[in-house]
């Protein structure tokens, strides 16, 4: 009989095991809030959660396993909208992401997960699976929009959602600045305009595709510049 352990976050058991899991993840969140990722230890999580350290090692195996499962658990609470239009869906999703990362501990958790994935293959697998799942779920907005005639046929859902999310991760991980509602609305508008222009649809041919893509991006950029001036006027405080 195999004794191989499933990767962190692969199962969601019930009963007492579920309560143990929640106590441990709550403890990880509190530890990150107090000392950051650099100070996070399995022993510290055990003390705060009241769960024996051997149990934590057996289930999660490492600090990286803990932070990856916590990230998946918390981010899974970001709602996936269905407003009736792709533009509305993208804007609502972008605002939810911005609201999520307003909490400093969530930003620290993101940094911890990315750091873990850079060092441990298991953590990288968990992170990849998490984002693949979120892309699939959020990507359901795109075929809905295509069916309504909002987008060119064949628009790639992953590419549309990636275009929406990229500004957030650039701002948080590269520029090291906070996200806000202005960023959310601009990211949503840029993704929507590009999708409408056919940027994420299959190209008919390489050369034509490059020319068409360049023209679409130029047109999209102009539309976003025009729209960005009204973002502050249209953005509500929610």
76 belongs to a structural domain? no
Quick one: pLDDT at residue 215?
Answer: 52
For residues 161 and 103, membership in a common domain is answered with yes
CATH number at residue 208: 1.10.357.10
Specify the higher pLDDT residue, 102 or 192.
192
Tell whether 54 and 87 lie within a shared domain: no
The tokens for 160 are: 């549309």
> pLDDT (tens digit, 9 = 90+) per residue, 124-158?
887 787 788 788 888 899 999 999 999 988 999 99
How many separate domains does the chain show? 2
DSSP tag of 197: T
Percentages (nearest 5) of helix, strand, coil residues in the chain: 70, 0, 30
Residues 36 and 134 both lie in one domain: no
CATH code, domain with 44:
1.10.10.60
Asked whether residue 68 is assigned to any structural domain, the reply reads no
Domain holding 155, by residue range, is 81-233
Query: Is residue 94 domain-shared with residue 139, that is, in the same domain?
Result: yes
> Quick check: is 9 in a domain?
no
Are 87 and 148 in the same domain? yes
> Is residue 153 domain-resident?
yes
Q: Which of 60, 91, 113 is the last residue of a domain?
A: 60
pLDDT digits (tens, 9 = 90+) for 90-123: 999 999 999 988 888 788 788 877 887 888 787 7
Please give the model's pTM, rounded to 2 decimal places.
Answer: 0.69
Question: Do 85 and 176 share a domain, yes or no?
Answer: yes
Does 178 lie in the same domain as 123?
yes
Residue 141 lies in a domain: yes
**Residue 72 within a domain:** no
Per-residue DSSP letter, 38: G
Are 41 and 145 found together in one domain?
no
138 inside domain: yes
67 within a domain of the structure (yes/no): no
């Amino acid at each position: 009989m195999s004794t191989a352990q499933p990767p962190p976050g692969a199962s969601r058991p019930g009963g007492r095991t579920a309560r143990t899991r929640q106590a441990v993840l709550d403890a990880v969140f509190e530890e990150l809030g107090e000392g950051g990722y650099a100070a996070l230890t399995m022993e510290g999580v055990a003390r705060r959660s009241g769960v024996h350290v051997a149990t934590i090692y057996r289930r999660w195996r490492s600090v990286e396993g803990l932070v990856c499962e916590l990230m998946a658990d918390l981010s899974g609470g970001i709602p996936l909208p269905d407003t009736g239009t792709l533009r509305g869906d993208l804007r609502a999703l972008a605002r939810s992401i911005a609201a999520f990362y307003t909490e400093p501990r969530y930003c620290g958790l993101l940094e911890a997960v990315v750091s873990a994935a850079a060092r441990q293959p298991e953590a990288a697998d968990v992170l990849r699976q998490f984002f693949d799942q979120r892309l699939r779920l959020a990507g359901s907005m795109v075929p809905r929009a295509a069916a309504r005639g909002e987008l060119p046929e064949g628009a790639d859902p992953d590419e549309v959602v990636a275009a929406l999310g990229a500004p957030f991760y650039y701002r948080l991980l590269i520029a090291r600045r906070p996200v806000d509602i202005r960023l959310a609305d601009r990211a949503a508008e840029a993704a929507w305009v590009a999708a409408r222009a056919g940027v994420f649809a299959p190209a008919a041919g390489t050369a034509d595709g490059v020319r068409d893509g360049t023209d679409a991006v130029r047109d999209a950029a102009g539309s976003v510049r025009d729209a960005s001036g009204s973002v502050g006027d249209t953005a509500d405080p929610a």
